[in-house]
Amino acid sequence: MNALDVAVLDIDGTLLDSNYHHAIAWSRAFREHAVPVPVWRVHRALGMGGDRLVAAVAGDEVEAQVGDSVREQWEHEYDAIIGETGLFTGAGRLLQGLRDRGLRVVLASSAIPRHAQHALDLLEAEEVADAWTTAEDAEESKPAPDLLDEAVARVGGGPAVMIGDAVWDVRSAAARHIPTIGLRCGGTGPDELLRAGAVAIFDDPADLCSRLDEALRRAVSGMADRVPGTPG
């Protein structure tokens, strides 16, 4: 585990039980614009940036015509229910466990700042994290690796592991040869996360806490598979 210096954690769906709230908020926003998008399709796109989501689930024409308006309505809809979201069991314990093992912890949120702040407050981020990001810190959203680059840079760089719940987390990390530990609690199936390249899958933060040393060993092993020219 000494081969790892940084743990980068997604927030929504990974530490905060909010993915289904986001899916409902997006669905309501689309409905306000007479665009019929089933909730399951929205859910499958969660984890990519909101700037990409409208086109991904409703098409380029909808994005061109009402994309910004849909995003504005989504913010309003999510604001109305954000108080119903809460941390997954073990979220704070996971962050402390990573710090206890000598890793610098970065919360790589791609949420807009005021939505990210809600989670940061619940996590008491100033006590358990070394740095964090929001959507404003990346030029391109996930699955582009910009946010991950910024997250690692904020703690001075070093070998990192990603912890996330969406295939977009895995793909973003893979672009930088960073192994990802996947969590099921965001609603993505383990097979899909593994196919995307995750090195290990756990149910939620509490499950990962209970096997954290095992998970980090698998991440270190996964690093060797991802970095060209590395033995083993």
Q: Delimit the domains of the chain by residue range.
A: 6-18+86-224, 19-84
Lowest mean pLDDT among 183-187, 202-206, 222-226, 227-231: 227-231
Q: How far, in Å, CA of 141 to CA of 49, rounded?
A: 5
Q: How far, in Å, CA of 144 to CA of 201, rounded?
A: 22
Tokens 């704070």: give the residue. 92
**pLDDT of amino acid 197:** 96
Q: Is the pLDDT of residue 29 over 90?
A: yes
Tens-place pLDDT, residues 144-163: 899 999 999 999 999 999 99
Q: What percent of the chain has pLDDT over 90?
A: 86
| Tally of CB atoms within 10 A around 232 | 6
Distances (CA, A) of 73 to 28, 88, 222: 8, 27, 41
Q: Is the pLDDT of residue 229 over 60?
A: no
Number of H helices, E strands in the chain: 12, 8
Which class would CATH give 19-84?
mainly alpha
Lowest mean pLDDT among 90-104, 124-138, 179-193: 124-138
Average pLDDT, the chain: 93
Q: Which CATH number fits domain 6-18+86-224: 3.40.50.300, 3.10.20.30, 3.40.190.10, 3.40.50.1000?
A: 3.40.50.1000
**pLDDT of amino acid 228:** 47
DSSP for residue 155: T
Q: Is the pLDDT of residue 136 over 70?
A: yes
Q: What is the pTM of this model?
A: 0.92
Q: How confident is the model at residue 226 (pLDDT cuts 50, 70, 90)?
A: low
